[in-house]
Amino acid sequence: MFDVAVIGGGVVGGLVLRELTKYKLNVCLLEKESDVAMGASKANSGIVHAGFDAPTGSNKAKFNVLGNKMMESVTAELGVKFRRNGSLVVAFSEEDIKTLATLRARGEENGVEGLEIIDGARLREMEKNISDAALAALYAPTGGIVCPYELTIAAIGNAMDNGAELFTDFAVKKIGKENGGYVLIAENGREVKAKAVINCAGLYSGKIAEMIGDNDINVSARKGEYILLDRECGDFVSHTLFFTPTPKGKGVLITQTVDGNILIGPTASEQADGNTETSADGLSFVMEKAMQICKKPPFSNIITSFAGVRAYSDRHDFIIEKSKKTKGFIHCAGIESPGLTASPAIAEYVVKTLVGSLLALERNESFNGTRMPDGYFKDLPIEEKNKIIERDPSYGKIVCRCERITEGEILRSLRVNPPATDIDGVKRRTRSGMGRCQGGFCQPHIAELIAKERGVTLTEVMKNGEGSNLLVGVTK
C-alpha cells in the first residue's frame, strides 16, 4: 500500500508528487492518459501571472502571488526555462484607464510588487508594435513566462528520480475503502492502494470527488483557442500584452513564449467536455483581437493552432480542501488560471499543511531536487558540445533541423523519467517537430528511433497515445 496516491499528472499533481518525495513517503501518480501533461497543463498561455486579477483573500490571489515568487527557484532546480518578461494590461479608453487603477490597487493588496501605470509614450518605448490607439498600461515587472508541459514533465521526472512511481493509462473509475485506506480502481481493472489520496484530476476532479461522496465540487469546461507564430518573428512583442479583463477572464493576450515564439489567444467558450478542436470562428476572433492590440501582427508566420480546456468551478475559486465525507482524501479542484503560476505554492500547502495533518512528515535526507534540462544541447558553448559528441556521437546528428534537436536528445527523452513513449511525447520533451515545418522532415526519423529504442515495429509507433498509429502497414 502506498502512503499517498496522486490522481492526475498535470502541473498541480506533478508538483504535489515532487513535494511529497521531499518526505519519507511511498508515493505514486495515477494518470489516465499514456503520458503526463495531457490536460490543461499541455495547452495554456504559459504566463506566470503577477497576481492582480483575483479578488483579494481568494485562494487564487494567495497562491498566485506565492507561486509567482517561487517560480524562479523551482524552475532553476528543475532545469526549466523561465523568464520575467513583465506584463502590460493595455488601456484603450478612459473607462479602461479607471480599470488599470482598480487592478493596481487590488494587486498591491494581494502583495504584488512593482506595479506601475505608464502613459502611452512609455508604452510605445517598451513595445514598438503596440497599436496607435493604446493610451496607457498597467506594467507588472514580476509577470513571467514558462513552458507549462516542460515544468510538468520535469516535476514528475524529478519525483520519479526520488522514488515516486508513475502509472500511466490508469483512468481512476471507482474508489473503494480498505483497511483505513483507499483502493483506486482503473477503467482497465488495475488497482492501486493508498493510505491517502490527492485528487488533482483537472477537468475530472469533480467526478473523482463524486466517487467518494463529495457532491459539492462542480467543475465545468471552458475552451481557449490559440495561434502560434514562428520564432522568426519572436521579437514582435517582448512583454505579455493583455486587454483589460472581462467577466469571463483575462481575455486574449499576445506574448512571447519562453522558447521565443509568439503566442496569441485564448478564446473562452463553454463546452460539455474536454474537446480540444480549434474552430475557424475561434481563430478569426483571436486574430481580430491581435490586430486591435498591435499594429500588423505577422500572421504569415503562423505555424500552428491549438486549444486547451480550463476546468473552472462554480465557486469561482480554487478548491483546495480535505474531503468533508471521508478521512485521508484531499481535493485540488477547479484549478483554472492562474493555476500554472500558483502550482508550486499549491503543492507546498497541500503537502505541508493538508497531508501533514494526516500523516507524519519526516524529511527525506536523500531527496535531490535538481534535474538536468531537456532540449539543452543547442544552447551549450561549442567546446562543451564537442566534448559531449566525443562521448556520444548521437549528439552530433541533428534530427529536427528547425529546432536543432539532436538524435542524442531524442534518445535521452525515451530513457529518462518520465520516458516518452510516442512522437508527441518526444516533441514535448525535446521540441523536435515544434518549428516551422512542424515535424514534416523529422517525424519519420523520430518514429524509427522510437521503434528501435522500444523494440517495436514502425506500425506500432504512436503519434499521441493508443490508436494514433502513423503507419498501418507495408505498401511495397
Ligand X SMILES: Cc1cc2nc3c(=O)[nH]c(=O)nc-3n(C[C@H](O)[C@H](O)[C@H](O)COP(=O)(O)OP(=O)(O)OC[C@H]3O[C@@H](n4cnc5c(N)ncnc54)[C@H](O)[C@@H]3O)c2cc1C
Q: Annotated active-site positions, please?
A: 49
Q: Does 336 bind ligand X (CB under 6 A)?
A: yes
CB of 318 to ligand X, least distance (A): 8
Q: Does 334 bind ligand X (CB under 6 A)?
A: no
3-state helix, strand, coil in the chain (%, to 5): 35, 25, 40
Between 203 and 242, how does the x/- string for binding to ligand X read (CB under 6 A)? xx---x---------------x------------------
Choosing from 21, 41, 131, 413, the residue that interacts with ligand X (CB under 6 A) is 41
d(CA 64, CA 54): 8
Q: Does 172 bind ligand X (CB under 6 A)?
A: yes
Q: Does 13 bind ligand X (CB under 6 A)?
A: yes
* Count of residues interacting with ligand X (CB under 6 A): 41
CB of 383 to ligand X, least distance (A): 37
Q: Does 46 bind ligand X (CB under 6 A)?
A: yes
Q: Does 310 bind ligand X (CB under 6 A)?
A: yes
Write out the three cell numbers for 387. 566534448
Q: What is the DSSP letter of 350?
A: I
Asked whether the beta carbons of 405 and 431 are under 8 A apart, the reply is yes
d(CA 293, CA 253): 9
d(CA 140, CA 294): 19
d(CA 20, CA 416): 20
Choosing from 4, 5, 6, 12, the residue that interacts with ligand X (CB under 6 A) is 12
Choosing from 339, 375, 425, 439, the residue that interacts with ligand X (CB under 6 A) is 339
Q: Does 338 bind ligand X (CB under 6 A)?
A: yes
Of 402 and 462, CB closest to ligand X: 462
Of 136 and 347, CB closest to ligand X: 347
Q: Does 289 bind ligand X (CB under 6 A)?
A: no
- Give the largest Cα separation in the chain, rounded: 69
Write out the three cell numbers for 201. 484530476
Q: Does 142 bind ligand X (CB under 6 A)?
A: no
Closest CA relative to residue 267, chosen from 318, 299, 222: 222
Q: Does 51 bind ligand X (CB under 6 A)?
A: no
Preceding omega of 393 cis (within 30 degrees of 0): no
Q: Does 202 bind ligand X (CB under 6 A)?
A: yes
What number of residues does the chain have? Answer: 476
CB of 43 to ligand X, least distance (A): 6
d(CA 84, CA 147): 13
d(CA 350, CA 329): 11
Considering only residues 388 to 427 of the shown chain, the ones binding ligand X according to CB under 6 A are: none
Choosing from 22, 33, 232, 251, the residue that interacts with ligand X (CB under 6 A) is 33
Cα angle, residue 427 at apex, residues 46 and 265 outer, rounded to 5°: 30
Asked whether the beta carbons of 13 and 200 are under 8 A apart, the reply is yes
Q: Does 309 bind ligand X (CB under 6 A)?
A: yes
Closest CA relative to residue 410, chosen from 379, 441, 443, 370: 443
Q: Does 38 bind ligand X (CB under 6 A)?
A: yes
Of 49 and 429, CB closest to ligand X: 49
What is the gyration radius of the CA atoms in the chain, in angstroms? 22
Tell me the one-letter amino acid at 269: S
CB of 336 to ligand X, least distance (A): 5
Tell me the one-letter amino acid at 465: G
Of 253 and 434, CB closest to ligand X: 253
Q: Does 433 bind ligand X (CB under 6 A)?
A: no
Of 40 and 140, CB closest to ligand X: 40
Closest CA relative to residue 4, chosen from 354, 369, 321: 354
Q: Does 44 bind ligand X (CB under 6 A)?
A: yes
Contacting positions for ligand X (CB under 6 A) = 7-13, 30-33, 38-41, 44-47, 49, 170-172, 200-204, 208, 224, 266, 308-310, 335-341
